[in-house]
Amino acid sequence: MIGKKYSNQKEISYYMCDRTQTLTLPMLVNLLLEVSGEQSESLGLGDTVMQEKGYSWILLQYEFFIDRLPKNKETVEIETFATEYNKLFCYRDFIVKDLEGNELVTVHSTFALFDFAKRKMARLPEEIVDPYEAVFNKRVKRTAKPAPVNEETAEQQPFNVRYFDIDTNQHVNNSKYLDWALTPLGGAFLSSHQMTYANIKFDKEVHEGQQVQSIYSQIAEDAAVTTAHKISTESNTHCTASFKWKKISE
């Protein structure tokens, strides 16, 4: 049983792509949240309504299974639906398809609701979950954790949180954590490897003016490579992630 489906087509533009003419993961994240935002609007639960109710959604985790990422100028269909929810968490899937219906990317995500007045996570109210037609299941899902960074071999690069990293929600845009995580891998690696899996877990948010360290280590396993990442400040880990890669054949 899954919830009400919503889908929309998006055209991939040059500014969303890297030098390999491929949609970047940070931009894919922006497009996914654009489509789930459209579903919320269509159900009368858009950002403005949610703000009036005193809530905002927080993204806790993403897991991506990637056959291939869309290419520059390609039009894709992005489908999304809530799957189930419990007292505190709700789960939403995204499926990115090409126009022939082939599934390119499948995404599982976990969201929670933040209560502004109480400054903490809210118990999910029926009026907010019912319109999505997700199923209540009291069991909290066990989601795979990102592979841990090997501190002995880890390398790191600092990033300053910039004005333009903060979006309309007044928070650092989720895609920026991915940008910080992936950038230290460098051009030679990123343009010769294709991502096949990504697991990103968001912990404490960072704020404008802070400096974060993007720390990563790499494990090669036969033809595949896994990279493990964390975004940290002195006192906190803000995001952990791991990616699986295969070499792009020449």
Binding site for a copy of itself (CB under 8 A): 13-15, 17-19, 21, 24, 26, 30, 33-34, 37, 47, 72, 162-164, 166-170, 173, 175, 179, 182-183, 185-187, 190, 208-209
Give least dist CB 190 to a copy of itself, A.
Answer: 5
157 or 196: whose CB is closer to a copy of itself? 157
Give least dist CB 206 to a copy of itself, A.
Answer: 14
104 or 178: whose CB is closer to a copy of itself? 178
Distance, in Å, from the CA atom of 59 to the CA atom of 12, rounded to the nearest integer, reads 23
Alpha-helical segments (H) within 117-206:
126-129, 174-182, 186-190
11 or 67: whose CB is closer to a copy of itself? 11
Q: Residue 187, exposed/middle/buried by CB under 10 A (0-12, 13-18, 19+)?
A: exposed
Give least dist CB 152 to a copy of itself, A.
Answer: 25
Give least dist CB 29 to a copy of itself, A.
Answer: 9
123 or 163: whose CB is closer to a copy of itself? 163
| Cβ–Cβ under 8 Å, residues 177 and 231 | yes
34 or 67: whose CB is closer to a copy of itself? 34
72-to-14, 47, 166 alpha-carbon distances in Å? 6, 29, 25
Distance, in Å, from the CA atom of 236 to the CA atom of 77, rounded to the nearest integer, reads 37
Q: Is 149 helix (H, G, I), strand (E, B) or coil?
A: coil
Q: Is 113 helix (H, G, I), strand (E, B) or coil?
A: strand
Give least dist CB 20 to a copy of itself, A.
Answer: 8
